[in-house]
Structure formats: C-alpha cells, structure tokens
A and B are shown apart, each in its own frame.
Chain A
C-alpha cells in the first residue's frame, strides 16, 4: 500500500507530513473522486463526472480534452461474440458518449418491421388489431441498409416494402392448431391482393396494394438469400374450422417511432466494479467474507505459515449488492468502487444485423448528427 493510500484509509495525518503534490498530477484522494464511484453501504457517492476543463486549474492540472490523449487511452476488448449477442469492454470514454451509443442502438437504428396488415379473412379468436400488433413485433431478418424509408407520398415499391403472406386454416376435425411466424411467406413480387375500389377496367393490369417494378428476388442481395422472419414465434391459435388469410407489409423505421423497429432485444452497460481490501483479512474472518458474497468474488489463499488470507479473485462478478459492507466494521475493511470510464457493454441483437455491425452503425449515426450541426452552423 502506498503512502497516499494508507493516509486515505488510516487515521489522521498532519497536513505537514503530506508529501508534496507533484504538479500536473492530481493528488490521490482527488484522483479517486475523479475516476471512481464510491459504493458505500448507505448509498453510492461521487457519482457525477468532472467534465469542466478548468475543474483542477488551481492545482495546475489540465482537465481539457486532448484528442491524442483520448486516442492513447481509449481501448476496446471483446469478451464474447456470437451471431446475436456480444459483450465488450470500452475503456477511456465518458458516460455521455457511452450512453449516446446505447440510446442510438435502442431507438435510432433503422430496421424493417411489419407496419400494415391487410386482413382478408380472420375467423380466429384473436381480434384483427391484436393479430396485427403481434405480427408487427416479429423480427424480420434482413439488412435494412438495402431499403429506403417509405414516406407519405411514396407508392410502396420494391425499394421500401417487403410483403409477406399468411394463409393458414385448421380443418374441421383436426386438433387445434398453432400458427407460428414460420408460416409467413415472403412475396418478392409484391402484394397479390387486388384493389377493389379502383374499378380500373381500362387498365390492362389490375392494381394491387404495391407497385413493384421488378421482383425482389432478382436483386443480387436477395437472389440466394430469401428474406425471412424470426422462426418459432407463436402468432395465433386456431380451432377447427378457423382460418386466417392476410398480407403483411413491412417498412423501414426506427425504435423511437415504435419499439418494433428496435434492432436490439436489449442493450446495456455497467461500469467495471472494483473491490479493494483495505487491510489483510485472515483466518475465520476470511472464511466469513467468502461466505458473505453471493457472487463469489472472494477466494482464500493459503499463506506459507498455514494461515489463510482473503483475496479478491473475481471483481468483475461483483454485482455491487453491498452485502459485504453491510456491517460498519466491514465497511472499513472493504472499499467498493466503480470505475467511471470503464464500461462493460452488452448488445443483444434481434437478428436483423449482427451485434458488431449494429455498434459501428450506431457510432456512424452519432457522426452524422455532428455533421448535420456543423453544416447547419456554416
């Protein structure tokens, strides 16, 4: 333990005995407050970040942003990556930025989702509007970057709409049936339902609800990669004799408008927990400490003389439940902190795009926002 640390945790030390503070470096106790959230048994303390550039001006410490410093300090480390989930550490970034990425992932990254449902027949017990809502929430597995937004005056065409068809029937005498999302069939040529009111007998081609110029499966990105939906989701139940026939039109949108367009099931971060033992914890006390922690953060190490000492073996597993600091005497022995600029970021994709692509797209969106402000100001 260094001088400064023992001062922090020990008793009173005269100011005259303090070592000189080297300029351009913060003294330990201030640096601790700058970089850590202190998780005391009563409540977390010191939760805000010091953003103002001149916060430590009187100590000769510059708190302003230097891009080179940011570049040197910023680190990313991937812990886990699968087709639809990833966890990574992001170090050296302010919470405002980490939160911006999280907010964009949740609410501002576009995906495709069913927006209009044309119901030709529905004799099931599920009402039309409930059925339409359920269909809207079914994730569509397609890269939204191949599509445009459908604006109010646009006709739905092959660049902005995906059409699915659902036609299921439960025959009389059959057992009750379950309709799953797998039964949604992609119609690459667009809608098959004819518009009634048009009465356009003069037109050679009868009008449908979409006007596709060509079939979507002739597009190179979909030719050998048909558009599907997330399988296995229960959409409705049918009793014998009931039938559902409908057409669902998916368009591009963002999670801000409706959560069905959110590309992530969820996306969150937590700050890195830090558990520090302020004194050696030995013997029975060590056993007690290991038993206290529900996340098994602590381990016991055997010392050479046959004694036992507690160690912090798995600080990342700490959930900050604060069980270990509940008693006063234990609060003195253990410091629980969170590192303010170390984020453990988790992204769970619903399947349209892999999680690592989602994150880069989110960062790009924040860049676009800045660009827009710059061009507005110029």
Chain B
C-alpha cells in the first residue's frame, strides 16, 4: 500500500482500500497538525473505486512512522471524545431523572 521511491522514506503515498473521505479527511487533519509534516493531502482517484491515496512528505522522519503516529493521535482523540460524551450523557440523565417523570423511557440501553 505504500509507494515511496527507494532510499527516500520521507515522501510517500499510501493507498488505503475500502476507505473514503471519512477516514482520509480526518487523517489529513491530524497529519497537518503534526509539525514533522511539510505537506499532506489526499485524493480519491475514481469515485467508483473504494480507495484513497494519502500523500505525506515529512521533514526527515519516515512518512510511514508519521502516518502511524497520526492514526494513533486520531485514536486517542476519539477515545477522549467517547469518554467526554458518555460522561455528558450520564450527567444529563442524572440531572433530568431527578426533576422529570419521563426519564423512564430514556433509559433504553
């Protein structure tokens, strides 16, 4: 899936199958926020192919490692989003069950 020229690990294009804007755009965001990245972008070569190409150029680190770190960052962010969301929902349910009758049909899970 990785296309880099031999001996130059700093610049590479990664082809990821079965993915679309959902993952590629999020990864472009985390990659762009990484100070080691000079350039990054993604493209979908053809709308009928379930495939995206992500281009990464770095200041020196292997592009592969930087992309891996970005995925890691995205995962940690997601975990934090999930944690905060669950907490907010729990808080909301707690506050509302005390002053609302209809709270019973909210606890469906």
Spell out A's residues near B (CB within 8 Å): 51-54, 62-65, 67, 70-71, 74-78, 81-83, 88, 90, 93-94, 96-97, 99-100, 103-104, 108, 353-354, 356-357, 359-360, 363-364, 366-367, 369-371, 373-374, 376-378
A374 to B71, CA, bound (A): 7
Cβ of A346 to closest chain B Cβ, rounded Å? 14
Quick one: given A75-B84, A83-B108, A363-B82, are A64 and B33 in contact (CB under 8 Å)?
A: yes
Can you name 10 A-B pairs with beta carbons within 8 Å?
A63-B33, A65-B30, A65-B73, A74-B80, A81-B89, A366-B23, A369-B19, A369-B22, A370-B71, A373-B68
Are A93 and B81 in contact (CB-based, < 8 A)? yes
Contact of B84 among A62, A76, A369, A376 (CB under 8 A): A76
**Docked complex Cα distance between A77 and B75 (Å):** 21
Query: With a CB–CB cut-off of 8 A, which chain A residues contact B16?
Result: 373, 376
Q: Does the CB pair A363–B35 fall under 8 Å?
A: no
In the assembled complex, the Cα of A366 lies from the Cα of B74 at a distance in Å of 9
Are the C-beta atoms of B32 and A74 separated by less than 8 Å?
no
Question: Smallest CB-CB separation from B102: which chain A residue?
Answer: A82
Residues of B within 8 Å of A103, CB to CB, are 20-22
A100 touches B23 (CB 8 A): yes
What 6 new A-B contacts, CB under 8 Å, besides A81-B89, A369-B23?
A74-B84, A78-B88, A360-B86, A363-B82, A367-B79, A370-B78
Q: Which of A75, A369, A376 has the most CB of B within 10 A?
A: A369
Residues of B contacting A364 in the complex (Cβ-Cβ under 8 angstroms):
78, 82
User: Is B64 interfacial (CB 8 A cutoff)?
Assistant: yes
